[in-house]
Structure 1
Amino acid sequence: MAIGIGKPNLLLCFDAFGTLFKPKHTVALQYAEIARQCGITNFTDKQVHSSFKRAFEEESKRNPNYGSGTALGATRWWHTVIYETFWPILKRTDQKPPPDLIPKLMHRFASKDGYDAEPGLVSALRTLKHQNYHRRYNEIVIGVITNSDDRVPGILSSFGLNVSPLRYGVPMNEEDAAAAMAKKNYDIDFHCMSYDVGYEKPDRRIFDAAEHMLAQIIAARDGMEPGGTEALAMAQTWRKVYVGDEHIKDVLGASAAGWDPVLFEPGVTSDDAIPTLNFAVGQTLPQQFKEFPTSKVVSIQDLVQSLAGWK
C-alpha cells in the first residue's frame, strides 16, 4: 500500500439509519400495514405508534443494545418488541397473534422492502471509491459505524451495493483476507455496529473499533501481522472523516474520537453555525477541517463532489 507524497489516505465512514437509508414510511405505519395484511383489526395507527415506542423502550432497558449484552440476540429481541407492540391490541379485541406477523415484519425491515436508500447512494459511493481521484487521495476505505443490530450489511446489499463481509468482532477468515489483499472492489469495506462492538455512539470506542478494522485491512493487503503495531501505526496516519445526521452521537462523538465530523442535513441549505462542506481547489483535508471543525452536506452526491474537489 504505497503512500503518495502529499496525498492523504482517507478513511470515510457513515452512520447508517437516517444517513445512508431511511424507512419508506414510519416504522409504526409499516407495522400497522403488515398487521392489517395478517388479519388484525380494530386498531389505529396512533395506537401502534404508542405501543411500539413503549415496547422498544422497555426492551432496550431489559436487554440493551438489541440483546447483545444479555446474549438474547437481535432476532429474539425484535420478536419480543413486535409481540409486545401488538399484545395490548390483540388482548383488547380478543384476537389471536397471526403466525405470519413476526416473520413478515422481520423480512420487511431486513431489506429495501422497508427502507429507501439516500438518492444516488450507490452511484455516488461507487464513483468516489473506484475512480480513486489520485489528484486528492492515495487510497480510500469506506466503512459504516452505526448504533444498530446486525441487519445493516444485508439492507445495504439489498440496495445493490457490493458490501464486504468484514465486521468488527467477527474474525477475518482466509477468504476475507484474500479478498482484502486482492483489493476486491467493495463499495463498503467494513461495518462497525454497536451490536458487535458493545458500545454505542457517541462512545469513542466504536470509532476506535473502526480504526482497528482499517488496521486489519492494511495488514491483510500488505502481508503484515494481523493486529500488529505496524498496521495500527499506519492506520493512525490516515485522515478519518465521519458523516452522520445526529449532532450529539455523530458530530460530537466523532470529534471527541479525533475524527473530522460532517453533519448530514438533507434539504437544509441555510445554517450560519455550520458551513457547507466545500473544498477549495488545492485545499487539503487538514486545511478544510482546521478552518471549519464541523461542516455539513445536504446529500451524498454533495459529499462526493466536495471530497473529490469538483466544487
Structure 2
Amino acid sequence: MRTSKPNLLLCFDAFGTLFSPKGGVAQQYAQVAKQCGVTGFSDKELQSRLLEAIKEEREKNPNYGRATGLGATQWWTNVIHKTFTPLMRNNQALPPTLVPKLLHRFSSSEGYQAQRDLVPAIRALRERISQQGVERLVIGVITNSDDRVPDVLSSFGLNVSPLRYGIPFEASALQGKQYDIDFHCMSYDVGVEKPDRRIFNAADIMLSHIIKARYHETISESDLEGWQKVYVGDEVAKDVVGAAEAGWNPVLLDVEGKSTEIASLEDIPQQTLKDLFENHTSDGNERQK
C-alpha cells in the first residue's frame, strides 16, 4: 500500500562493503595451520594450493556446493583438505582441529573486520532516515556469497533477522521484533550472482513477505514500484551496473579511497546516505571503509 511519505528498501553488499578479511585469507590459513602443528610450507606454496583448491572445487561443485547438493560447509571442508593434504609431510593426516578452526574463523569476526562503527552506523541510519520523513524502511543484504554472511554480521553485534531468500518464511520471526538487518539474499540461495538482475528481484520478493508479515498488507507489483530502492556496494560492474539495470539507485563506495560516485537517488536525500559513512568511519570521510 502506498503512503504519502516515501518508503525505502536499502540493501548492502557484504564482502568489501560491510566487512572485509583481516589481512590476506592465505595468511590466516597459514596462521591457523601453524597453531594446529602444520609446518614446513612457505606462504607462496600455501597461497598457490589454496587458489588451486578453490578453482577445482568451483568447477566440480558450483555455487559453494549448492548446485550439486554438497552444501557450503562440506565445500569449504574439501577446499581445506585439498589445500593442506599436499603440504603434509610423510603422508600424515590433517590435525583434527584444523578444519573446524578454519570454518569457525571465516564464519565470524575472527576472520573478518567490520566497517568501523558498523553497528551504531546502521542503527543511526534507521533513526536518521525516519527523521527525514521516510514512512517505512527495510534493510537487507544482497551479496555474492555462501550462507556464512548472517553469522559474520551477527558476530559483529548486529541483530540479524533469520529471514533468507529460499528458506521457508516464518511470519512469526517479525512479530514484535526489530532487526538491524531484515533479510538476506545470497547468491548461494538465489542461484545467480550479481550483476544478474534476478538476485535484486529476489529482494523484492523478500520485501513483499516482510510487508505482509509486519504490516499485515498484501502488496502488488505496482505497489513495490512506489518504494525507493537503494543499493550500496564497492564494485562498479557487479554492484553499480547490476543495481542500475535492475532499476535500483546504486551508491558506489570506493575501497581505495580515491573517489566516490553516487548515482541519482531521486526522492531520497543524498546527504542522508552520505552521512552514514561520513559520521561513522575512522577519519570522517565516506570513502574510507
Q: Same fold (TM over 0.5)?
A: yes
Question: Aligned pair in 2 of structure 1 residues 165, 303: CA closer, same or farther (>3 Å)?
Answer: farther
Equivalent residue in structure 2 for 1:243, among 227, 232, 235 = 232
Give, as a single letter, the amino acid of the residue that structure 2 aligns with 1:165.
P
How many residue pairs align between the two structures?
Answer: 279
Alignment correspondent of 2:113 = 116
Are the counterparts in 2 of residues 192 and 206 from structure 1 also a CA contact under 8 Å? yes
Report the TM-score when normalising by structure 1.
0.83
Cα RMSD, aligned residues only: 2.5
Alignment correspondent of 1:71 = 69
Q: Percent identity, please.
A: 54
Aligned with 1:133: secondary structure?
A: helix
Alignment correspondent of 1:139 = 136
Per-residue deviation at 1:118?
Answer: 0.5
* Residues in 2 aligned to 1:135 and 1:262: alpha-carbon distance in whole angstroms: 19
* Residues in 2 aligned to 1:234 and 1:202: alpha-carbon distance in whole angstroms: 24
Question: Could you report, residue by residue, the CA deviation over 1:283-307 in whole angstroms, capped at 9, with x for unpaired residues?
Answer: 833x86xxxxxxx96x9523989xx
Aligned with 1:144: secondary structure?
A: strand
Are the counterparts in 2 of residues 219 and 231 from structure 1 also a CA contact under 8 Å? no
Equivalent positions of 1:244-283 (< 5 A) are 244-266=233-255, 268-269=257-258, 271=259, 275=261
* Residues in 1 aligned to 2:215 and 2:253: alpha-carbon distance in whole angstroms: 34
Per-residue deviation at 1:161?
Answer: 0.4
* Residues in 2 aligned to 1:93 and 1:20: alpha-carbon distance in whole angstroms: 42
Equivalent positions of 1:192-271 (< 5 A) are 192-225=185-218, 230-266=219-255, 268-269=257-258, 271=259
Question: Aligned pair in 2 of structure 1 residues 276, 146: CA closer, same or farther (>3 Å)?
Answer: closer
Alignment correspondent of 2:182 = 189
Give, as a single letter, the amino acid of the residue that structure 2 aligns with 1:154.
D
1:48 partnered with 2:50: no
Give, as a single letter, the amino acid of the residue that structure 2 aligns with 1:25.
G
* Residues in 2 aligned to 1:210 and 1:239: alpha-carbon distance in whole angstroms: 13
Give, as a single letter, the amino acid of the residue that structure 2 aligns with 1:98.
P
Structure 2 runs not aligned, ≥5 long: 282-289
Question: Could you report, residue by residue, the CA deviation over 1:102-153 in whole angstroms, capped at 9, with x for unpaired residues?
Answer: 0110011111111100001111100111454333412211100001111111
Alignment correspondent of 1:95 = 92
Structure 1 runs not aligned, ≥5 long: 289-295, 306-311
Give, as a single letter, the amino acid of the residue that structure 2 aligns with 1:53.
L
Alignment correspondent of 2:33 = 35
Q: Which 4+ residue blocks in structure 1 deviate beyond 6 angstroms?
A: none
Equivalent residue in structure 2 for 1:59, among 37, 50, 57 = 57
Per-residue deviation at 1:44?
Answer: 1.1
Are the counterparts in 2 of residues 121 and 300 from structure 1 also a CA contact under 8 Å? no
